[in-house]
Chains A and B, each alone.
Chain A
């Protein structure tokens, strides 16, 4: 997706990871510090960085980097 590098930077910053460590294996199963507070910080940071609104139903299901990317893409009109 366009802006994927920015997406990885936001995810890395909010989950306190190195950008290089954010890939398709990044998920709540592999990142043990991905808790509810960091999750909500991630949602808000994504909304601000990409000027989008993430629907409530998607907030609860964004449990991996591929899903995060798909949700952001959809809200940018590319999904």
Chain B
């Protein structure tokens, strides 16, 4: 069977649910399947099968993704007009997003999980991370930390790629911690990933050999101070994968990065040596000069 024709029953179930329950997203799965091919389809199918094993789970995730994606599209349109994100303080975002238990469980986290697969720029960043994880795997046994684990997708992929690693994942959200724990268990990695509810700046953990921090900086009022704390969590000689979003007006984005160089300046000020970065745009600009959401991942040491 050719890669493009790989059987994907779980992904097919997801696609059928989009068609029936959220038709404006009916092309969400086939569009990316055409763009990214059989390898993507097999990867996404595995995730859906393990993490959304029932029809109810798929229905909840589709509903969550639709709300999450519509919200993002609407905020992006507003951002194109104002040039500013909606919220400026952590307290505003916490009240609107993080402290809303139902929104976090039923909308934000399932929506975010599907967005990793259904938004090509996010999936391309995952592939870049997989390449980084292969390099980490070659360094042998060690410990890795992830700060702001979210859905758990990055820690899961790192531990799957590097069987000699043990991981600890930190988040300040109880819902994220629970989601990440379930995620690791669904892939048989529960015994190698410890998930802790902890503010790593207020209560710093032991330094690790490898560090992952994906799309946290833009959620903070003061990413510079945070990056200083992050640097202290990496052992000398260790390597880190730090990603953020530029010009992307999601509901909980506070700190607006407009260019990659703004992030590089902050990383270097925190003591990181930037080895390189991978950038992916969400789309081509609608008009010249219109900012496009971008995810950008830095390989640093």
Contact = CB atoms under 8 A, between A and B. Distances in A.
A-B interaction = yes
B9 interface: no
A39 interface: yes
Contacts of A39: 24, 70
Interface residues on B, range: 10 to 19
Nearest to B78: A44
Interface in A12-59: 28-29, 32, 34-40, 43-44, 56, 59
A29 B66 contact: no
Given A43-B74, A44-B77, A59-B74, A36 B25 contact: yes
B25 A40 contact: no
B227 interface: no
A34 B23 contact: yes
B67 interface: yes
Interface in B61-94: 66-67, 69-71, 73-74, 77
Given A60-B66, A60-B67, A37 B73 contact: yes
A28 B74 contact: no
A34 B25 CA distance: 9
B71 A36 contact: no
Q: 7 closest pairs, A vs B, by CB?
A: A28-B23, A40-B73, A39-B24, A36-B24, A44-B77, A36-B25, A59-B70
Interface of A: 28-29, 32, 34-40, 43-44, 56, 59-60, 63
Given A29-B23, A59-B74, 10 more contacts: A28-B23, A34-B24, A35-B24, A36-B73, A37-B73, A38-B24, A39-B24, A40-B73, A60-B70, A63-B23
